[in-house]
């Protein structure tokens, strides 16, 4: 075999290895995006559950009860993990929580009820988790897009049929009066 053909074979072998290596990277990043997105979704569901329970605490005034109950219900019945609807519904829930839980005096009054107080602690915890979850998901999406935009990756369609990932654009504001 001539030395030229050896060089060609080595070059082809290297190219194959490189493409497979990039495909592997991409695959792991898609996996990371999926898991972080499901984790975010899990925390959002948990928040819906906590707010629904909060709305059902005896002694909560009927106006709050309706606002919370309605918004939580909307969030809990939605099937999609990530969709514009999901974002819209979760943002509405966030807005209602921020609106109703921004006055420390009012929150203290709600906290007189021991059960409600425990639920507010859980709400703070889950809100912080949602905020982090969203950040970690966005990080993963950015890492992935960086590779997907490379010329060779696009040319050889290494990303396969997977749609380009999209960051979840949620309002993650935490009601100020929840921080005791």
Count of beta carbons in the 10 Å neighbourhood of residue 164: 10
- Polymer length of the chain: 180
Min dist CB 135 to another protein, Å, is 6
CB 93 within 8 A of CB 133: no
Q: Give the residue, chosen from 87, 139, 173, 174, that forms a contact with another protein under the rule CB under 8 A.
A: 139
CB 50 within 8 A of CB 178: no
CB 64 within 8 A of CB 107: no
Burial class (CB in 10 A: 0-12, 13-18, 19+), 163: exposed
Based on its alpha-carbon atoms, the radius of gyration of the chain, rounded to whole angstroms, reads 24
Q: Give the residue, chosen from 143, 148, 173, 174, that forms a contact with another protein under the rule CB under 8 A.
A: 143
Would you state the structure tokens that stand for residue 166, as one six-digit string? 């999209």
Would you state the structure tokens that stand for residue 54, as one six-digit string? 């909060």
Binding mask 17-46 for another protein (x = CB under 8 A): ---xx-xxx-xxx-xx-xxx-xxx-xx-xx
CB nearer to another protein: pick between 30 and 73: 30
Size of the site for another protein (CB under 8 A): 33
CB 165 within 8 A of CB 141: yes
Min dist CB 128 to another protein, Å, is 6
The yes or no reply on residue 148 touching another protein (CB under 8 A) is no
Q: Give the residue, chosen from 113, 117, 125, 173, that forms a contact with another protein under the rule CB under 8 A.
A: 125
CB nearer to another protein: pick between 73 and 129: 129
Q: Which residue ranges make up the site for another protein (CB under 8 A)?
A: 20-21, 23-25, 27-29, 31-32, 34-36, 38-40, 42-43, 45-46, 125, 128-130, 132-133, 135-136, 139-140, 142-143, 146
């Amino acid at each position: 075999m001539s030395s030229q053909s050896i060089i060609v074979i080595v070059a082809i072998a290297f190219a194959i290895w490189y493409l497979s290596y990039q495909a592997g990277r991409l695959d792991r990043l898609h996996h990371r995006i999926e898991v972080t997105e499901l984790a975010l979704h899990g925390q959002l569901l948990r928040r819906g559950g906590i707010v629904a329970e909060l709305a059902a605490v005896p002694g909560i005034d009927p106006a709050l009860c309706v606002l919370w109950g309605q918004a939580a219900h909307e969030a809990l019945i939605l099937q999609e993990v990530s969709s514009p609807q999901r974002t819209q519904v979760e943002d509405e829930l966030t807005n209602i929580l921020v609106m109703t839980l921004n006055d420390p005096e009012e929150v203290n009054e709600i906290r007189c009820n021991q059960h409600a107080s425990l639920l507010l602690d859980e709400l703070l915890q889950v809100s912080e988790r949602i905020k982090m979850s969203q950040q970690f998901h966005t990080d993963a999406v950015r890492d992935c897009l960086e590779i997907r935009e490379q010329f060779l990756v696009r040319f050889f369609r290494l990303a396969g049929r997977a749609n380009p990932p999209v960051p979840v654009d949620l309002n993650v504001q935490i009601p100020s009066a929840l921080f005791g």
